[in-house]
Amino acid sequence: MAKIEMKTPLVEMDGDEMTRNLWAMIKKHLILPYIDLKSEYYDLGLEHRNETNDQVTVDSAMATKKYGVAVKCATITPNAARVKEYNLKEMWKSPNGTIRAILDGTVFRAPILVKGIEPNVRTWKKPITIARHAYGDVYRNTEMKIPGPGKVELVYTAADGHEERALVHNFDCAGVVQGQHNLVPSITSFADSCFTFALEKKQDLWFATKDTISKKYDHTFKDIFQERYDEKYKPLFEKAGITYFYTLIDDAVARVMKSEGGFIWACKNYDGDVMSDMLSSAFGSLAMMTSVLVSPQGYYEYEAAHGTVQRHYYKHLKGEPTSTNSVATIFAWTGALRKRGELDQIPELVDFANRLEKATIDTIESGKMTGDLAKITTLPNPTTLGSEEFILAIKDTLDREAE
């Protein structure tokens, strides 16, 4: 069969450890046999980031701005142990953080539902999509250790030179302090992408912050969402029969646990980080979650929500068999290929992405899965497959379903 042709290159961001292995297997077995892949390849593996002084990460984000669609493998965010392990020149920043700072926008994460992997929360019947603001707050903070007694203030020096000050704390002992910021345009585009995404999916939108405690910072988020809703989206929501609902973050958490799902939950950056891991684990597995960064300019970066699965990688290095779940990484590829197909009007590419997703789900529902899922499935007698075997089983299903 002729391979599917592409028009515009996909920005391909390779990564680290076990997911780097999965990446190569997915390309070899599930992509390259079917698609004449056009991609601009960026190696975000830690060694290459170190060699390029992390320039490669910036370049890959700029390429995403140029071409519009990227697919990213999980990458190591270095800590002190990694600096030693990889003999790094510096403790390079989180690549996701760097890319998100350049592209701005919102990360949408939704569980991949399959029969036989039931959510831990009994009431959840439909997926809950987390919309995570991808700019600022604690991810772009400035911190200081306070060695001893003294005063800490926030100082704003306006462009015209006048100053405004606010006391943070009068320390009478050692302590710590943190400065955070966000930007009105970024919060506005966060709100706009959430309202737009809710309309696209025809699902209610929930938003929550801690505005009762954070009367300026969090309250600004709440106000901007409400203003955008009143200015633009209210009639569209009414027409679509969906609602916008604001509440406090702790109330939202309680309600989510009692809900049946089927809505979009907009979260500030940190809340989204934490809550998406909670949700994906409760829906089954970190590896059963899609994740896409949507920038206000309409650039898309598809990724897996989990990390590089270091523990499995070390087993692999010792020559032991692994059973690492590749579903989230496969769905990063299908998400990116489908979007490329939509933008470039290549229906075969869209169709291929849909078929590969269906083959992946059908393979699991037929009882063939990786160890993480086999442990929690309600299907009788599941077959646990190795990392590559599972990918080959999906290829089998894909080829069979194409006949």
Question: Phi and psi dihedrals of 216, rounded to 5?
Answer: -110, -50
Angle at 207 between CA 96 and CA 221, to 5 degrees: 75
Q: Is 264 in the site for ligand NAP (CB under 6 A)?
A: no
Q: Is 112 in the site for ligand NAP (CB under 6 A)?
A: no
Q: Is 279 in the site for ligand NAP (CB under 6 A)?
A: no
Q: Is 182 in the site for ligand NAP (CB under 6 A)?
A: no
Using the minimum distance from each CB to ligand NAP, give the nearer residue, 186 or 324. Answer: 324
Using CA atoms, how far apart are residues 364 and 394, in angstroms rounded to an integer? 9
Q: CA distances (Å), 250 to each of 120, 212, 254, 271, in order?
A: 20, 11, 6, 11
Minimal distance in Å, beta carbon 388 to Mg ion?
A: 27
Q: Is 107 in the site for ligand NAP (CB under 6 A)?
A: no
Q: CA distances (Å), 112 to each of 280, 304, 342, 373, 402, in order?
A: 9, 12, 21, 12, 22
Pick one of 21, 96, 276, 360: the residue that binds ligand NAP (CB under 6 A).
96
Q: Is 103 in the site for ligand NAP (CB under 6 A)?
A: no
Q: CA distances (Å), 47 to each of 84, 164, 177, 204, in order?
A: 12, 44, 33, 43
Among the candidate windows 34-42, 69-77, 142-150, 175-183, which touches ligand NAP by CB under 6 A? 69-77
Among the candidate windows 33-41, 145-153, 232-240, 307-315, which touches ligand NAP by CB under 6 A? 307-315
The site for Mg ion (CB under 5 A) is made up of 273
Pick one of 324, 334, 360, 363: the residue that binds ligand NAP (CB under 6 A).
324
If 0-12 CB within 10 Å is exposed, 13-18 middle and 19+ buried, where does residue 225 land? buried
Minimal distance in Å, beta carbon 300 to ligand NAP?
A: 16
Minimal distance in Å, beta carbon 277 to Mg ion?
A: 5
Write out the H or E segment, with its range, that includes residue 209: strand 204-209
Using the minimum distance from each CB to ligand NAP, give the nearer residue, 325 or 397. Answer: 325
CB atoms within 10 A of CB 21: 21
- Point out which residues bind ligand NAP (CB under 6 A): 74-77, 96, 286-287, 303, 306-311, 324-325, 372
